[in-house]
């Protein structure tokens, strides 16, 4: 077998291995969501699941109105002084059908704030909330209904964040995520950029 043939085969093998590794990294990564949390006309409950973060962060919420960075109410703290106990629940009250519930994560350690919904709300232009499917199997909520999906916040600026989306995990009952909202073209571009960064980050971890 000639040297050229050996080199070609080695190159082909490297390309295939790289492609498989990249696809595996993307498959194992969390999927960000930019869809809003919309009320269903009943009570909304939020349940703290836990955290795998070194930074100290707080979760806040606001019901209705237009998006802004103020007038949020504290829900949970992931670690440090006053940390919330996993399983803690808060009934935030009734939310009219179609009214958005906004969530904000304040990273106290880093000094940044990130929001649910459109990526453009965040200082780095990336979505900072991901959802986990399936959620817990029929856990009853304090405000009525059941928790069916877990949501997770990424607590650091992207990049260089690890994008593991496990820094503050919570569940919501009494809302839906509308699929009728059509993202702007710029949002699609941001999502694709985010997935690319996630794939590269995960690949570097495995090398």
- Residue 11 belongs to a domain: no
Residue 198: band (very low, low, confident or very high) from pLDDT cuts 50, 70, 90: low
CB atoms within 10 A of CB 4: 8
72 is a domain residue: yes
Helix, strand, coil share (%) of the chain residues, nearest 5: 25, 30, 45
Rounded CA gap, 102 and 68, in Å?
9
Q: Taking residues 128-143, report their average pLDDT.
A: 75
Provide the pLDDT for residue 15.
Answer: 36
pLDDT in tens, 160-190: 878 889 899 999 999 998 754 444 444 445 5
Whether 9 is covered by a domain: the verdict is: no
**CB distance 44 to 95 below 8 Å:** yes
**Higher confidence at residue 192 or residue 6?**
192
Strand, coil or helix: 115:
strand
The CATH number linked to 94 is 2.60.120
Answer whether residue 4 is part of any domain. Answer: no
**27-81 pLDDT, tens digit each:** 345 689 999 999 999 999 999 999 998 999 999 999 999 999 989 999 999 999 8
Residue 56, in any domain of the structure: yes
Is residue 62 within 8 A of residue 71, CB to CB? The reply is: yes
CA–centroid distance for 33 within its chain: 6
pTM above threshold 0.85? no
Query: How many structural domains is the chain composed of?
Result: 1
Q: Check residue 82 and give its pLDDT.
A: 92
Mean pLDDT in the chain?
Answer: 78
Cross-strand pairs, 33: none
Cβ-proximal residues to 23 (8 Å cutoff; 6+ apart), any chain: none
Q: Per-residue confidence at 206, pLDDT binned at 50, 70, 90?
A: low
Domain that holds residue 95: 32-183
Q: Is 191 within a domain?
A: no
Element (H, E) at 90: strand 89-94
With respect to residue 157, please indicate whether it lies within any of the assigned structural domains: yes
**Beta strands of 7-55 (E only): which ranges?**
37-39, 43-50
- Phi-psi group of 107: left, alpha or beta (phi > 0 → left; psi -120 to 50 → alpha; rest → beta): beta
Domain assignment present for residue 138? The answer is yes
């Amino acid at each position: 077998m000639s040297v050229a043939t050996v080199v070609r085969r080695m190159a082909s093998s490297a390309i295939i291995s790289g492609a498989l590794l990249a696809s595996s990294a993307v498959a194992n990564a969390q999927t960000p969501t930019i869809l809003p949390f919309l009320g269903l006309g009943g009570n909304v409950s939020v349940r703290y699941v836990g955290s795998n973060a070194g930074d100290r962060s707080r979760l806040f919420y606001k019901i209705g109105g237009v998006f802004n960075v103020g007038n949020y109410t504290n829900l949970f703290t992931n670690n440090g002084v006053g940390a919330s106990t996993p399983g803690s629940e808060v009934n935030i009250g009734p939310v009219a059908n179609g009214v958005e519930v906004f969530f904000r994560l304040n990273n106290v350690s880093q000094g940044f704030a990130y929001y649910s919904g459109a990526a453009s709300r965040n200082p780095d232009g990336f979505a900072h909330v991901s959802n986990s499917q399936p959620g817990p199997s029929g856990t009853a909520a304090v405000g009525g209904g059941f928790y069916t999906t877990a949501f997770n916040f990424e607590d650091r600026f992207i990049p260089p964040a690890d994008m593991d989306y496990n820094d503050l995990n919570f569940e919501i009952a009494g809302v839906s995520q509308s699929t009728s909202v059509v993202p702007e073209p710029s949002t699609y571009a941001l999502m694709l950029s985010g997935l690319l960064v996630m794939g590269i980050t995960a690949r570097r971890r495995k090398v």
